[in-house]
Amino acid sequence: MTNSPKGKFITVEGIEGVGKSTNIESMRYFLDDKNIECIVTREPGGTDLGEDIRELLLGHKHGAMSSDCELLLMFASRAQHLAQVIAPAIEKGQWVICDRFTDATYAYQGGGRGIADKHIALLEKWVHGDRQPDLTFLLDTDVATGMARVHKRGAADRFESEAAAFFERVRNKYLERATSKPSRITVVDAGQALSQVKADIRQRLNEFVAHTQL
Ligand SMILES: Nc1ncnc2c1ncn2[C@@H]1O[C@H](COP(=O)(O)OP(=O)(O)OP(=O)(O)O)[C@@H](O)[C@H]1O
Ligand SMILES: [Mg+2]
């Protein structure tokens, strides 16, 4: 008996309003067209338990939350997500497209909140050291553009309520990671017209699929 090939793990990153949700939908259609079975999921969240943790993280219910508590809740949600959704899907041969993953933790809790990379790296190794995304899209645009898109949507969540300086730090950390991991992380200029953003993503995804099927 031959083992069926494992699925691929694709993550989509970027600050608020860069177009992650919008472009993930197009990525799903693209993979459907190629007859690649895929699931779309998100972090924090992706499981019933994780979605409850997401509410704690994004809501305003408990007032001030310590940065360490925030970091640990992110990884608590991630541990459940990996065990219950991501790992089983990949083992079955499905591709997983995840809206944010550990790069976001480095960007938000590291760059944004100021937690040292070495602390995040410890949790990363513990929770999923042997499982990293195969491909990551970093949708990047200036903070003002992203925030303007998000503010059209209504009440701000706990992260969206942060000042622009917070998102500048988050954005810079994302870009720093992209520079240090160029083979995994593709930066897409998300300030372009949506049709061009989609075309850039499609081109990279096409290359990735072709390479996978070699
Ligand atoms: N390139 C673009 N040009 C103009 N508008 C865009 C572009 N990409 C996305 N939008 C619009 O910006 C808004 C935010 O997009 P979307 O919800 O996909 O962002 P997001 O990254 O998922 O945000 P969040 O981090 O809050 O989940 C939507 O109204 C979407 O239609
Ligand atoms: Mg979204």
CA of 11 to the centre of ligand 2 (A): 13
* pLDDT at residue number 214: 66
Residue spans of alpha helices (H) in 82-163? 87-92, 102-105, 117-128, 143-151
Q: How many other β-carbons are positioned within 10 Å of the β-carbon of residue 117?
A: 13
Closest ligand 1 atom, residue 191 Cα: 1
- Given the DSSP bridges, would you call strands 9-13 and 95-99 parallel, antiparallel or unpaired? parallel
CA of 89 to the centre of ligand 1 (A): 27
Measured from CB, residues less than 6 Å from any atom of ligand 1 are 14, 16-22, 149-150, 190, 194, 197
* pLDDT at residue number 179: 98
CATH topology of domain 9-212: Rossmann fold (3.40.50)
* pLDDT at residue number 1: 47
Render pLDDT for 137-160 as a digit per residue (tens, 0 to 9): 999 999 999 999 988 887 889 998
* Residue ranges in the chain modelled with pLDDT below 70: 1-3, 214
Separation of alpha carbons 197 and 118, rounded Å:
33
For residue 92, give the DSSP letter: H
Render pLDDT for 172-204 as a digit per residue (tens, 0 to 9): 999 999 999 999 999 999 999 999 999 999 999
pTM greater than 0.95:
yes
* pLDDT at residue number 3: 66
